[in-house]
Structure 1
Amino acid sequence: MQFINFLKGVWQRMFPLKDIKQALGVKLAITDDMMQSIEMWQKCFAGQAFWLSDSVISLRLEQAITREFANITLNEMTASVSNDKLQKIFETATEDLNSELQSGLATGAMVIKPLGGDKVQYISANAFVPIEFDARHRLAKVIFPEFKKIGDNYYTRLEYHSLDTEKGLTITNTAYVSASEGQLGREIPLAAVDEWASLPNAVTYPAMLRPAFGYFRTPIKNTIDGSSCGVSVYANDINLIRKIDTQFGRLDWEFESGERAIHVDAAAFKKEGTEKLNKRLYKAVDVDLGDNELFKDFSPAIRQSDITDGLNTYLRRLEFSVGLAYGDLSNPETVAKTATEIKSAKDRKYNTVSAIQKQLKYCLDDLVYALAFYNSLTTSGYTFVCDFKDSILTDEQTERTQDIQDLSLGIMKPEEYRAKWYGEDEKTAKKNLPQASEVVD
């Protein structure tokens, strides 16, 4: 409860939601529970999970998960715009797509918002306020807050995008000032802040039937509040990640507590020359060890194997839960080797990545449209093509083909091939190899 209250306080400082709702007369499409969850996912992603302590450090599994999904998603993507000028703008605008997509996967959603020319701003779910989604769960109305502190005052600008199928796109800008952080305060002219002086109070684009940004949301069911807000790719696995960090803490403690030491009678330290003894290895004790036992070795057995096995079991469970393949996070030498399990793991990862790619394609399609709009190229007749490969599945066939070549060259033994692809140990595989007569027949 203390942590949840802390998160709620952070959100209130960033987004005075009650004030925003009253000032603009809008109904929010995000609940308190969802806001707190987004902030928690973001903190976990930044290595600031609430369960961390001196004895429990973060393994940064949240970054490992999002990085793996982002890498696979984008490594298989080819995207192009038929208009050369728009293509160059798009390439520049998406240079940081990989790292920013990781943030979007961590917080559940992100917006890629053009700023004019080839400049864009990547905004993850913890930095915008959704107001309304359409029937396809696309963001139709949203507020982008901007905060500044000048002197002792806190300034807020609310950029509100409202897309209507009949009226088009309307963008309004309002500014506010408060003497206290976390409060919207009173409305002031945009000109009160130099950087906002040139912005229009309101502008409408009747011909715009799509948003002026690209919106990405994770393809994961929202069980937090059932809304269209995206959820983190590890939203359902926070407790499991906590267990893994804690288990690693046990492993770390096992090494530390089992560190070799030589217990020395305190009297021995009084003798000449002992000041050069390694204080980490030699530890003085006030117990009388006897005249013949001034030194006593302390070298306990380390239970590394049991703790490591438990850690690896947790990691495999996490891989299954988030949609990764076995070996992406866990020790690849201990993963299942049967052909059925290998195929199942790769299918699981392929399905997850394919769903992410589908949502990203929607986002980039809208982004290109928005870039064309800001660069007066919407009527240029451009086409946008975005395709993805399926190397996650084809890698298995490629590997098997290579093994067959190695088999024919004598580099791989028949029993090794059979053991690998038929899920048998080498002894069983060798026994099940066809006899020469069977091959001839």
Structure 2
Amino acid sequence: MSILTALFDGNKIYNFEQAFGVKDITSAPMKAAIGDWMGLYYQTEPTDREDPCQRIPVAVVHKLSKTTFSEYEAGAAGSGPKTEYITSVLGALDVCRKKAMQQALIGGQCYLKPIFLSKGVSFGVISRSDYLALGRDERGDLTDIGTAERTIVDRLYYTLLERRTVDADGWLKIESRLYRSNTEDILGTEIPLQALEKYAALEPVVVFPKPVGSIGLIPLRVPLENTVDGSLDAVSVYAPAAGLIHNINRNEAQLNGEFERGKSRIFVDDTLLERRDGRKALTDDVFVGVSGDYQSGGIDIFSPPLREASFLARKTEYLRNVESLIGLKRGLLSEVEAMERTATEVTSSAGDYNLSIIDLQEMWDGAVREAVRVCGVLGRMYKIYAGPEINPGKDVIINWGNGILYDEDQTWGDYKAMVAAGMLKPEIAVGWYFDMPTETEEDLQKIRGRYMPEVEEMAKPGDE
């Protein structure tokens, strides 16, 4: 049972809303849609109506997240304590980026939670099923959020509820409460935070001494319009194709039934399908009832050829429609022979898929810079970082490879032309090319000492 089902179900005696006296602002249609997206992704067992064996959402999420990061690199500019701290934050983000991207694509939005330990910073991933939206600002950013974390010790269920609120001036308040229960489907009894060792250092209420500017969690939001209820809630990357995916699953179940039954459909008098003692005499997945005096109650076997070709053709068309609705490169799902492509190869080819990848890369780019900003603010408060002020826009360098957010080869050519025209120092161009700092004269001297022959060759006019 998920944390959302176990803790946030209003039918239960103990739940987050009752614990804090608040109300989830997510609409009923959105809650149903989120549950449907999770079901489409995680369901593995077939039902009477649908067979999810094709795992379309899994394929979509896997291909998008893999392609998004296929040429990804991130680093810190400059040198010194600030660079070391940013590098540690980027390293922690690298550990969770695949999971975070996948959770965002599945549920529409997830959050990265900075965790400050004695050994440095790490990040937890809060999926859409593990938080409650309690308040938003005019931009759609959450200003009030509820999260839950469960721990099992000696067959007892401990649940930490955390509510984060931020006001218009950026002041962050965190309220924490700990509950213990014998079963997983209720919160149980509130107990002191110190009752569990891992939460012993927490305070019931904390107001940060300086403005954080957010709820202290880093959002990762899929850049699609909400077509469920038109609200500010984010939607799954495959939300536009959810209906089609259900149709595909139904087709798969129907096609499997065709194979399991062989070629026959048997027409019989409908009285033979009547319930007897609470059970049907004949099953209607094989037998088709015909009203009236059908051959005096006889049985007629109809044996057309298996409809494999028509079903497969229809499924292929469905997959192409999924590609169009989501914005995938044509053939990525519908053509078996479609090969894996890097982000550069996808971007350089025609099709809407290019836009999807760029949007997802910009989404992660923004999340990384916000994570570095938040960790810079909180790092000072937790006395983990004491270096210079961090500017995420300048101090974080993210490279997506050629042809994604920019063309690296074209940029290099422009730098060379500027050097040849006397508009740019050669050391700066070469420093950019080899990802070396160029802020101080000492930095430039290192470049001259290491690459000066190459610099002189590069600066010659006409050398492209």
When the two structures are superposed, what TM-score results if normalisation uses the length of structure 2?
0.64
Contact 1:176 1:184 in 2 (8 A): yes
Contact 2:50 2:246 in 1 (8 A): no
Name which of 54, 59, 71 aligns with 1:59.
54
Name which of 390, 394, 397 aligns with 1:385.
397
Query: 1:365 & 1:210 partners in 2: Cα distance?
Result: 14
Q: Alpha-carbon deviations, 1:151-185, whole Å to 9, x = none?
A: 67543221222222436222221123456644444
Query: 1:185 & 1:14 partners in 2: Cα distance?
Result: 10
Q: Alpha-carbon deviations, 1:179-206, whole Å to 9, x = none?
A: 6644444433212233222212222222
1:187 matched residue in structure 2? 190
- Deviation, structure 1 residue 365: 1.5
Query: 2:8 & 2:361 partners in 1: Cα distance?
Result: 30
Which residue identity is paired with 1:47?
Q
- Deviation, structure 1 residue 147: 2.5
Contact 2:96 2:123 in 1 (8 A): no
Query: 1:314 & 1:122 partners in 2: Cα distance?
Result: 33
2:31 matched residue in structure 1? 35
219-228 or 309-318, larger mean C-alpha shift: 219-228
Name which of 172, 176, 195 aligns with 1:173.
176
Which residue identity is paired with 1:384?
V
* Residues 312 and 193 of structure 1: CA distance in aligned 2, closer, same or farther (over 3 Å): same
Contact 2:347 2:403 in 1 (8 A): no
Query: 2:305 & 2:9 partners in 1: Cα distance?
Result: 56
1:88 matched residue in structure 2? 88
1:124 matched residue in structure 2? 127
- Deviation, structure 1 residue 349: 1.2
Query: 2:24 & 2:173 partners in 1: Cα distance?
Result: 18
Q: Alpha-carbon deviations, 1:224-264, whole Å to 9, x = none?
A: 333322111112322211221232344445555559xxxxx
RMSD of the alignment, in Å?
3.5
Contact 1:111 1:215 in 2 (8 A): yes
* Residues 19 and 308 of structure 1: CA distance in aligned 2, closer, same or farther (over 3 Å): closer
Query: 1:394 & 1:310 partners in 2: Cα distance?
Result: 39
- 2:20 maps to 1:24: yes
Which residue identity is paired with 2:32?
Q
The alignment partner of 1:122 has SS state of strand
* Residues 307 and 392 of structure 1: CA distance in aligned 2, closer, same or farther (over 3 Å): farther
1:304 matched residue in structure 2? 308
- Deviation, structure 1 residue 352: 2.1
- Deviation, structure 1 residue 75: 2.1
* Residues 15 and 379 of structure 1: CA distance in aligned 2, closer, same or farther (over 3 Å): farther
Contact 1:16 1:182 in 2 (8 A): no
Q: Alpha-carbon deviations, 1:374-414, whole Å to 9, x = none?
A: 3325744352233545747999xxxxxxxxxxxxxxxxxxx
- Deviation, structure 1 residue 25: 3.7
Query: 2:64 & 2:244 partners in 1: Cα distance?
Result: 19
2:319 matched residue in structure 1? 315
* Residues 391 and 256 of structure 1: CA distance in aligned 2, closer, same or farther (over 3 Å): farther
Where does 1:69-80 land on structure 2 (aligned, <5 Å)?
A: 69-80=64-75
Contact 1:250 1:307 in 2 (8 A): no
Q: Alpha-carbon deviations, 1:354-384, whole Å to 9, x = none?
A: 2222222222222122333333257443522
| Number of equivalenced pairs | 341
1:224 matched residue in structure 2? 228
Which residue identity is paired with 1:196?
Y
Which residue identity is paired with 1:105?
L
Percentage of matched positions with identical amino acids: 25
Query: 1:204 & 1:221 partners in 2: Cα distance?
Result: 34
Structure 1: unaligned runs, 5 residues or longer = 1-6, 260-298, 335-341, 396-441
Which residue identity is paired with 2:132?
V
* Residues 27 and 312 of structure 1: CA distance in aligned 2, closer, same or farther (over 3 Å): same
* Residues 140 and 362 of structure 1: CA distance in aligned 2, closer, same or farther (over 3 Å): farther
* Residues 186 and 343 of structure 1: CA distance in aligned 2, closer, same or farther (over 3 Å): closer
Contact 2:48 2:253 in 1 (8 A): no
* Residues 60 and 390 of structure 1: CA distance in aligned 2, closer, same or farther (over 3 Å): farther
Q: Alpha-carbon deviations, 1:250-296, whole Å to 9, x = none?
A: 4445555559xxxxxxxxxxxxxxxxxxxxxxxxxxxxxxxxxxxxx
Query: 2:325 & 2:54 partners in 1: Cα distance?
Result: 18
Which residue identity is paired with 1:314?
Y
Name which of 310, 326, 329 aligns with 1:325.
329
Contact 2:68 2:357 in 1 (8 A): yes
- Deviation, structure 1 residue 332: 6.0
Contact 1:210 1:366 in 2 (8 A): no
Query: 1:226 & 1:378 partners in 2: Cα distance?
Result: 44
* Residues 59 and 107 of structure 1: CA distance in aligned 2, closer, same or farther (over 3 Å): same
Which residue identity is paired with 1:161?
R
2:375 matched residue in structure 1? 371
- 2:363 maps to 1:354: no
Query: 2:364 & 2:19 partners in 1: Cα distance?
Result: 33
The alignment partner of 1:222 has SS state of coil
1:283 matched residue in structure 2? none
* Residues 245 and 392 of structure 1: CA distance in aligned 2, closer, same or farther (over 3 Å): farther
2:411 matched residue in structure 1? none
* Residues 243 and 377 of structure 1: CA distance in aligned 2, closer, same or farther (over 3 Å): farther
When the two structures are superposed, what TM-score results if normalisation uses the length of structure 1?
0.67
Structure 2: unaligned runs, 5 residues or longer = 78-82, 264-302, 339-345, 408-464
- Deviation, structure 1 residue 34: 2.1
Which residue identity is paired with 1:15?
F
Query: 1:94 & 1:176 partners in 2: Cα distance?
Result: 33
Query: 2:237 & 2:261 partners in 1: Cα distance?
Result: 36
* Residues 359 and 23 of structure 1: CA distance in aligned 2, closer, same or farther (over 3 Å): same
1:15 matched residue in structure 2? 8
Which residue identity is paired with 1:67?
H
